[in-house]
Amino acid sequence: MKKKSLMVLEDFHQKDIKVGDRVPRFEGSYEILDMNYSNEHGEFILCEYIPGDDFGDVDVTPDFEAYGMPAKPLNPYEILGTISVPGYRNLMAGIGFFIKNTQTGVTEGVSFQEAFDRIFNEGAINATASKSRTGVFHSKLIDSTDELPSFDSHFWKIPAYFPTGELFAPLTKRAEYELKKGLKIAVRSLSQDVGSQFRYKKEISSESIRELKRLIQKSEKITVLTGAGISTLSGVPDYRSSVMGMWEKNPAILEQLNERTFQDSPEKFWSAVYKLLETTLTGVMPFQNHESLLAALDGIPTNSAHRFLKKLEKEFGKDVTVITQNVDGLHQSTGNERVIEFHGNIRQCICPRCDTIFNLTDVLKKVENKVSAPTCRCGTVLRPNVVFFEDAVKDLNSSRKAVEGSDLLLVVGTSLQVYPFNQLPYFKKKEAKVVYLNGEVEGNREEQFDLTIEGDILNAFWQLEKSLESQKGTH
């Protein structure tokens, strides 16, 4: 069934549309009827939705329908907009609505179900609610009035937070829960966007993959040294680049990230930690505020490179040790049994007195402001479980033993410029092979390693995984 609807330009992926165009959308298309349609609510694009051929003869008559209060000017509620989070497509108001009580003038953020109940039972000025059942499927809809776009339009999007970080309006408990979920979903989406910028298009030869496969099959004990080139594919910026950028903008902050400042002025130390986290994670934070920082710390996903290293151990039966420079904890969360975090784990805090380890997100949830120094139950100021300036690296002896005992050393996503991590390959036994895989290969790396592969890490591991799986299937 054809149906006219109002939209705004932001609703279209293709912006250079004109009257007469048909724009594919869902299972049909929109025909543009008027680019400058206006009414009392604003200026819109008037369209007509035309279902696809496959749906032309489908009977979608519900078995049951019920309609709530009709839209009337004296109804007690008005929908101001949908709760919007950058990176999260709020299709059909998945998080909820900002809704105004026209009698009290109070605006609050509510979940979809809460908005539905209010509009269905009490009524709204600019919306109606209905529910239906078709077979075993139940649905609830909130529709705008005819002279307004539908609620999945950008016209309705209101950012959950102001640029200053404060909420647009108070939230109900249910809406607060939905917003936290939405922030984490947005972090995953933004992480993919940021991570895609670090993909390399250089083609990797099938000969290189075959040789890497041969080396893996011959080996029992494999040690993997990983660096920022794996984390950036999950949207985590290169730590060194973030630090250098901060050094140029505000070197005083970095000068506070050391044991001396931690002991003498823990508040300054923790303020610097907070600013470093904000700087490092800004690209995957939906908003520049505390809640988005917590969502980013919890929500950054692993990628297929992390998961391949787990499969190398769990499915292909190799004895794998991962030694990583990265502090994001993604190797640990992926599930490899032996992960040595050479520079620590930023998702953790540790008590210097009793060695109790806390989740950083849980700690920061209790921090009242950006300069508070969190404390352990024993009263001692907590410290992020990472290596800062002048700190000793973690588990150097364990790392050395892992390299010494391995048949194969994989060096992945690191330029090997940071001491002492760059010394680890020299501890391998004479007969062990070393493979270097990175997006870009600088200098004379070919002379230093038995096999050098330059190109996209995800693509290389994808090809390798397919090849190993096909071989496994023949045995």
CATH topology of domain 237-299+344-386: SIR2/SIRT2 'Small Domain' (3.30.1600)
What pLDDT does 371 receive? 65
pLDDT exceeds cutoff 70 at 279: yes
Give the pLDDT band (50/70/90) at residue 247.
Answer: low
What backbone phi and psi angles, to 5 degrees, belong to 183?
-65, -40
Share of the chain above pLDDT 90, in %: 72
pLDDT exceeds cutoff 70 at 1: no
pLDDT exceeds cutoff 80 at 242: no
Give the pLDDT band (50/70/90) at residue 366.
Answer: confident
Instruction: Average the pLDDT over each of 95-109, 314-328, 347-361, 382-396 and give the range with the smallest value.
Output: 382-396
Looking at the DSSP bridge assignments, the partners of residue 379 are none
Q: Is 378 annotated as a binding residue?
A: yes
pLDDT exceeds cutoff 60 at 34: yes
What pLDDT does 285 receive? 94
Give the distance, in angstroms, between the CA of residue 22 and the centroid of all CA atoms in the same chain.
34
List the catalytic residues: 343
What pLDDT does 398 receive? 97
What pLDDT does 154 receive? 93
Q: Is 349 annotated as a binding residue?
A: no
Q: Where are the domains of the chain?
A: 1-60, 63-201, 203-234+303-343+393-475, 237-299+344-386
How are beta strands 64-67 and 127-134 bridged, if at all? antiparallel
The tens digit of pLDDT for each residue in 91-102 reads 655 799 999 999
Looking at the DSSP bridge assignments, the partners of residue 171 are 109
Q: Is 354 annotated as a binding residue?
A: yes
Please tell me which residue, 448 or 99, carries the higher pLDDT value.
99
The tens digit of pLDDT for each residue in 161-194 reads 999 999 999 999 999 999 999 999 999 999 999 9
Reference 472, options 312, 303, 304, 306; nearest CA is 312
CB contact at 8 A, 435 and 445: no
Averaged pLDDT of the chain: 90
Q: Strand 137-144's sheet: what is its strand order?
A: 64-67, 127-134, 137-144
Q: Is 47 annotated as a binding residue?
A: no
Give the pLDDT band (50/70/90) at residue 136.
Answer: confident
Residues with Cβ within 8 Å of 4's Cβ and at least 6 positions away in sequence, in order, are: 33, 46, 47, 48, 49
What pLDDT does 237 receive? 74
pLDDT exceeds cutoff 90 at 62: no
CB contact at 8 A, 321 and 338: yes
Question: Do 237-299+344-386 and 203-234+303-343+393-475 have the same topology in CATH?
Answer: no
Tokens describing residue 320: 């794998």
The tens digit of pLDDT for each residue in 137-153 reads 888 999 999 999 999 99
From first CA to last CA, the distance across the chain in angstroms is: 56
pLDDT exceeds cutoff 70 at 294: yes
CB contact at 8 A, 254 and 246: yes
pLDDT exceeds cutoff 60 at 474: no
pLDDT exceeds cutoff 60 at 38: yes
What pLDDT does 128 receive? 97
The full 3-state SS of the chain, as one line of letters, equals CCEEEEECHHHCCCCCCCCCCEEEECCEEEEEEEEEEEECCEEEEEEEEEECHHHCCCCCCCCEEEECCCCCCCCCEEEEEEEEECCECCCCCCCCEEEEECCCCCEEEECHHHHHHHHHHCCECCEEEEEEEECCEEEEEEEECCCCCCCCCHHHEEECECCCCCECCCECHHHHHHHHHHHHHHHHHHHHHHHHCCCCCCCCCHHHHHHHHHHHHHCCEEEEEECHHHHHHHCCCCHHHHHHHHHHHCHHHHCCCEHHHHHHCHHHHHHHHHHHHHHHHHHHCCCCCHHHHHHHHHHCCCCHHHHHHHHHHHCCCCEEEEEECCCCCHHHHHCCCEEEECCEEEEEEECCCCCCEEEHHHHHHCCCCCCCCCECCCCCECEEEECCECCCCCCHHHHHHHHHCCCEEEEECCCCCCCCHHHHHHHCCCCCEEEEEECCCCCCHHHHCCEEEECCHHHHHHHHHHHHHHHHHCC
CATH topology of domain 203-234+303-343+393-475: Rossmann fold (3.40.50)
Please, what sign has the CA dihedral across residues 248, 251, 257, 258? positive
